[in-house]
Amino acid sequence: MRYATHFFALLISHLIMLPAQADSTPDLLKELTNAHGPSGFEGPVRKIMEREMGALADSVEIDGLGSVVGVIKVSDKAPNIMIAAHMDEVGMMVKRITDEGYVKYQVLGGILPAALINQRFRILTSKGYVIGISGMKSIHAIPQGERDLKPEHNDIFLDVGASSRKDAQERLGIQPGDPIAPDTEFEVLNGGNRYVGKAWDDRLGLAVMIEVMKRLQNKRPPSNVYFAATTQEEIGLRGARTSSYLVKPDIGISLEAGVAADYPGISQDEAQEALGKGPGLFLFDASMIPNNNLKKMVTALAQKENIPLQFNLQPGYGEDGAEMQKAFSGTPAVNLTVPVRYLHTHYGIIDRRDIDALVNLLSAIVYELTPARVEAIKQFRD
């Protein structure tokens, strides 16, 4: 007995000394946000999602527009819960090359011209990426009365260091139609809870989706859960439409980047989210009003689980939930977000605590959506 007691004492001592499980979320976020994937050119992001979903889903398929759909399936008779986040980021495409070798572009998604001035870009060519700098006239050459003029996209160009169109095409391999993405790297901001990176819209949603899939490995959900990493959201919610017709959802949940309004120069009338105060639930956007029954369930569940929840109304905004909502005869849908500062620019800032809170909330939602609960949400009996 003495030897057994000694053995168990050694075992417990060894287990206590084992290192804590590493936090893999920052590495996942870094890989996702550093990957380049302007609308229609989501390939690098798709590879990440295929890899991650392949290890977690019962099956994975790619639809005709390139969206990746993985499912954790319970039964053919169970309702289908569709959770969507988009792979694409706002970016540009090469329109033409001037005789002097400068690159003119076409925007892919909503980008303010002012956000593109004097920034670094990567032009993704068949030969590899080429660095381009968006040129800007020196202040010394601008008359005093013209210094406050706002640029237009047609005024902006990329300087790739080429001496001519021929040099840009033959030496650098730049061709019309090549995608262009911000040249930005992920960074933990000064050692705190805040992360800096590009394309949080919507690599955040993809990361949340993967983390929830990991949790579902321990306990199967009560309904079928389809996870859709969609394409071309920034240019018309296109991937969400095709993947909705693949999934045939009974409930739709969009995961998105929210619009933070907690910094100088923006008001609570323009947006209502803040970093570090929990995920957001959109009550209105230009593409969708959420289903009231689903909205009430999410709000009550957040309160029950002690998860802080913010609300946002944003008229200049659209998201994949709108396509899920309009699929077939109509689907109850809601849009959940992680707040982001400086959305659709080279550098967005997020708070890790908001990501964790949304993972907790979405996990609770998935387990709450039993077949009976889904059927009740789909009824309109005010």
Whether residue 187 lies in the annotated active site: no
Which of the residues 42, 233, 234, 368 is marked catalytic?
Answer: 233
Residue 279 and residue 257: Cα distance in Å, rounded? 10
Residue 98 and residue 34: Cα distance in Å, rounded? 29
Cα-based angle 347, 353, 358 (whole degrees, multiple of 5) = 100
Concatenating the DSSP letter of every residue in 233-302 gives GGGTSHHHHHHHHHH--SEEEEEEEEEB--STT--TTT--B-TTS--EEEEEESS----HHHHHHHHHHH
Residue 198 and residue 111: Cα distance in Å, rounded? 13
Residue 232 and residue 66: Cα distance in Å, rounded? 9
Residue 42 and residue 87: Cα distance in Å, rounded? 6
How many other C-beta atoms can be found within 10 angstroms of the C-beta atom of residue 160? Answer: 20
Q: Report, as residue numbers or ranges, the catalytic residues.
A: 233
